[in-house]
Structure 1
């Protein structure tokens, strides 16, 4: 089984813990994205899989064997680095095939794999150039080709697209998915870019401060965040969080209150939590100029024009909230009324920051 299993894996640098009690299974042939802010431990996690970092404690299994002390060269991995890591004195062809020659692969097989990679990554005609004669996008494709020709069971990528411009990144994302669909390696990809995570991954493992926050499909990470951090990290602009109190079916914000539907009120009652945080994404916020039943009153502070959308920032009881609207009919100082689409909200325990779940979960 070409799967990867972390069993209580920890990583320390001296006394600094950078990965904490990581328990995670990466399924055979899936595209798993390690996502999180800088310094969260995602690259360290990838490097432990590659054998480039020693594991301080716990066990790491690959292909159903513990690889804690297995050298990198014996793990059947291919890796693509953020900085390309190409040999400057070698041609494109030699960079791509160097690893195959070291492993004494048959010459004809090397030529076949090289041709396939050059065609796949649109590098034909560049075979005899050296890295200094290539653009950033071309160098990245050479680094990808070098990993592809190895045809390893495990394909590891450490922020491989971060040096490319937005247009090239979009094209490269499609190429990566195509490569995976051809070879079906177990694919582990590190990024801090949520767009890459959402568009490339079968599942996303979201990390913070060395700890796994949640691991799920992109849809569930976006629509059913496990905690406040997960809700705020995914999505731009970030999820609105309202810190409220609960009493007798109402969520109370300052001097204002909203009545929760019974289906949510029952969920909150079962959780036995009174200090709550309500999450609502900007695109799900509904505001109007007129009072509506079961709404909060606020004041517009400023407006951002995104070209195709508008960001309306307003304040309710000292809480700043943003709504994304197709059209703008507001101006700073306007009185507005917020009503919640209760099918789109998330409710968290304010103290633990964890989700209380969703009504249909029972």
Structure 2
């Protein structure tokens, strides 16, 4: 297992910056997810680790060794590509063991590793088939087997499940975790799918326009977003973000106000911010027909049916607010109310868009501490 350290790493193609001053440590044996939208730099980051791209500035260390100029073949990494990159003229067995033969491992060792990985990934009986004779899920497992059988220190996965349908993708996620638990390699996994990120990763590195936005556990990325971008990217529907002003121990949202508890007042005062964004996730909003104390009012714009629940979209002071509800009797144009739960809200500075933090009352043994970039 190797630790991977990005020390002020940047990557540019001419004047176009793809990675901007990246500082990131991948812990030995962990599953780190590089998450972000297309073009955010996550695949480029993976290729820098693999040695498939040159670093423009900064240093990359693997196992304590600076590897900026180390050839890809000497880094002891294996990679699973989005398109699987299988040799069409080779059998499953030959595809899996090709790299081992190039390394000139003993035939007995190759056979033992092949047998082990075929059993682990449920490919036994398919050894003599060609890739064209396999389903998409089977091809994905062959590509994964080829990477696993190498037993390298680092496994790099670039959108490996994106070509699978939803059911196969769920099954493959479990296989990936099972493979990691068996070999404890350092996994670096690129995806744009937040469900994959939340279910596979030990930690998530969320990227946007070549910059790291947040690095933490899936729990903290979801429950304590470091900035507005993180809050909006994670979650479906994403977190609601409402412009607000703080004064006289309350938040003013448009023409409406809600009082803040003492802990939040102290937190806002400490931050020095007065122009804020109020963040609250749709599943943390409880809609009511009658106006309760300290509530915000809105009007139902439209309703989405998710089968076992409803997505109710409101107009609140000109901003769209989504709420997830069990009830189905919502009508367009209906006035509704909700009281922000102090334990479920997030406040962000309007200028920096960074999270101002949380009152101590809402920390549980410091599990919500996050690294803001």
TM-score, scaled relative to structure 1: 0.99
SS in 2 for 1:287: coil
In structure 1, what is the Cα distance between the partners aligned to 2:242 and 2:265?
17
Counterpart in the other structure of 2:94: 94
Distance 1:102 1:207 in 2: 36
Q: CA deviation at 1:328?
A: 2.2
Residue 28 of structure 1 is matched in structure 2 by: 28
- 8 Å Cα contact 1:3-1:63 kept in structure 2: yes
User: In the aligned structure 2, how far is the partner of 1:212 from the partner of 1:316?
Assistant: 32
Give 1:186 shift: 0.6
Aligned counterpart, 2:175: 175
After the TM superposition, which residues 76-115 of structure 1 pair with which residues of structure 2 at under 5 Å, given as runs?
Answer: 76-115=76-115
SS in 2 for 1:112: helix
CA distance in 2, matches of 1:136, 1:296: 49
Deviation at 1:125, TM superposition (A): 1.2
Tell me the CA shift for residue 270 of structure 1. 1.1
TM-superposed deviation, 1:329: 2.9
**Contact 1:240–1:279 (8 Å) recurs in 2:** yes
Rounded to whole Å, the distance in 2 between the matches of 1:254 and 1:58 is 46
Alpha-carbon shift at residue 327 of structure 1 (Å): 1.6
Counting only pairs closer than 5 Å after superposition, residues 314-353 of structure 1 correspond to structure 2 as 314-353=314-353
For residues 91 and 284 of structure 2, the distance between their equivalents in structure 1, rounded to whole angstroms, comes to 52
Q: Distance in 1 between matches of 2:309 and 2:14?
A: 48
- Alignment partner of 1:147: what SS? helix
Task: Report what 1:164 is aligned to.
Answer: 164
> Structure 1 residue 336: deviation in Å?
0.7
Deviations, residues 217-258 of structure 1 (Å, cap 9, x unaligned): 000000000000000100000100011111111110111111
Task: State the match for 1:43 in structure 2.
Answer: 43
* Partner Cα distance (1:272, 1:127) in 2: 65
- Greater mean deviation of Cα atoms: 307-316 or 322-331: 322-331
2:119 is the alignment partner of 1:126:
no
Residue 215 of structure 1 corresponds to which residue in structure 2? Answer: 215
Q: Within 2, Cα distance between the matches of 1:328 and 1:246?
A: 35
Match of residue 57 from structure 1:
57
Inter-partner Cα distance in structure 2 for 1:153 and 1:298: 54
CA contact (8 A) 1:204 1:221 kept: yes
Runs of 4 or more off by more than 6 Å in structure 1?
none
Alignment RMSD (CA, Å): 1.0
The residue aligned with 1:235 is 235
Match of 2:275 in 1: 275
Deviation at 1:298, TM superposition (A): 1.2
SS of 1:298's equivalent? strand
Structure 2 partner of 1:266: 266
Provide structure 1 residue ranges, at least 5 long, that are not aligned to the other structure. Answer: none
> Does the aligned pair in 2 maintain the 1:286–1:341 contact within 8 Å?
no
SS of 2:125's equivalent in the other structure is coil
TM-score (norm 2): 0.96
CA deviations on 1:241-285 (whole Å, 9 max, x unpaired) are 011111111110111111111110110011111110011000001
Equivalent residues, number: 362
- Give the deviation of 1:42 after TM superposition: 0.2
5+ residue gaps, structure 2, are 367-373
Whole-Å separation in 1 of the counterparts to 2:343 and 2:250: 16
Is it true that 1:188 corresponds to 2:195 in the alignment?
A: no
Alpha-carbon distance in structure 2 between the residues aligned to 1:297 and 1:138: 52
**How much does 1:338 deviate?**
1.7
DSSP-derived class of the 1:151 partner: coil
The aligned counterpart of 1:204 is 204
Distance in 2 (CA, whole Å) between partners of 1:2 and 1:296 is: 51
Q: Match of 2:138?
A: 138
